[in-house]
Amino acid sequence: MKVLHLLAALLCLLVVSACATAPPCNPLADWHPSPNHEPRRARMIVIHHTAMRSAEGALLVLQTRNSGGRVSAHYLIGEDGRRYQLVAEQERAWHAGPSRWSGIDDINSISIGIELDNDGSEPFSDAQIESLLVLLADLTERLGIQPHLVVGHGDVAPTKKDDPSVHFPWQRLAQAGYGLWPREVRAPVPAGFDAWAALRVVGYDLRDPEAALAAFHRHFRGREEREWLEGDAAILHDLQMQLMELPAQPAILGR
């Protein structure tokens, strides 16, 4: 009997040891590991402004916590263009909070978060934007992120956030190949065009339509009205056409 107890104890130790050297084992299933996996990969990039007075102050918050709890981002870019990395790219940083884009929740799990040292009330420096463009070129190429999937925090969380502010130069980014921007020459808007549907196609969450419209205006028109403006339909029609003209790509959450 003692031998049986000893064998049972040894078997338990072997099972525990196997799980200790591998990812956590679910006791509801037998562990048969496969080598066919990789770390989670980012599929989009979310840009923020820090709403603080200095990069040093932002670094402290991103490494500790703010009044709402712990926060982080993968990168911070100072006003002088210096780049800081805080979280490994294959890890999930806490930068987007409750958010949604193209019908997908939990943007933190599929994105790279980039904070820009800016209080939200002033233009972004040339050195900072040039540094951002260098980083975007690296991330989109190396991680295989589709260049048009560069958005703002306010785009993915329109009811809670407004960063980066109306001062952010989205057109400059688009000229370099990142994010969407309406073209100068646009096809006529067809009769019966549904601007709300197009806003959803672009990616906006319409659970609060006025907030989504304000976010769209902030990004594409440098203002924050919560009602439709003249010219909005032409912009949205062109953005929708650009998306339709993109080469077929895996879904945001695809392999």
Question: What is the distance between the alpha carbons of residues 239 and 236, in angstroms, rounded to a whole number?
Answer: 5
pLDDT band at 22 (very low <50, low <70, confident <90, very high): low
Give yes or no: residues 218 and 107 share one domain. Answer: no
Give yes or no: residues 171 and 57 share one domain. Answer: yes
Give yes or no: residues 130 and 207 share one domain. Answer: no
Residues 6+ apart with CB under 8 A from 23: none
With respect to residue 58, please indicate whether it lies within any of the assigned structural domains: yes
Contact (CB, 8 A) for 136 and 96: no
With respect to residue 134, please indicate whether it lies within any of the assigned structural domains: yes
Q: Is residue 17 over pLDDT 80?
A: no
Q: Is residue 243 over pLDDT 80?
A: yes
Q: Is residue 237 over pLDDT 70?
A: yes
Contact (CB, 8 A) for 103 and 156: no
Q: Which domain holds residue 59?
A: 44-175
CATH number of the domain residue 147 falls in = 3.40.80.10
Residues tagged active-site: 115
With respect to residue 252, please indicate whether it lies within any of the assigned structural domains: no
pLDDT band at 249 (very low <50, low <70, confident <90, very high): low
Question: What is the distance between the alpha carbons of residues 121 and 102, in angstroms, rounded to a whole number?
Answer: 29
Give yes or no: residues 71 and 127 share one domain. Answer: yes
The per-residue pLDDT for range 104-133, each reduced to its tens digit, is: 999 999 999 999 999 999 999 999 999 999
Give yes or no: residues 217 and 166 share one domain. Answer: no
Instruction: Note the pLDDT of residue 20.
Output: 46
Of 121, 146, 175, the last residue of a domain is 175
Q: What HEC string does the chain produce?
A: CHHHHHHHHHHHHHHHHHHHCCCCCCCCCCCCCCCCCCCCCCCEEEEEECCCCCHHHHHHHHHCCECCECCCCCEEECCCCCEEECCCCCCCCCCCCCCEECCEECHHHHEEEEEECCCCCCCCCHHHHHHHHHHHHHHHHHHCCCCCCEEEHHHHCCCCCCCCCCCCCHHHHHHCCCCCCCCCCCCCCCCCCCHHHHHHHHCCCCCCHHHHHHHHHHHHHCCCCCCCCCCHHHHHHHHHHHHHHCCCCCCCCCC
Question: What is the distance between the alpha carbons of residues 73 and 62, in angstroms, rounded to a whole number?
Answer: 7
The per-residue pLDDT for range 170-223, each reduced to its tens digit, is: 999 999 999 999 999 999 999 999 999 999 999 999 999 999 999 999 999 999
- Count of domains in the chain? 2
Alpha carbon of residue 134 to chain centroid = 17
Give yes or no: residues 55 and 147 share one domain. Answer: yes
Question: What is the distance between the alpha carbons of residues 222 and 165, in angstroms, rounded to a whole number?
Answer: 8
With respect to residue 185, please indicate whether it lies within any of the assigned structural domains: no
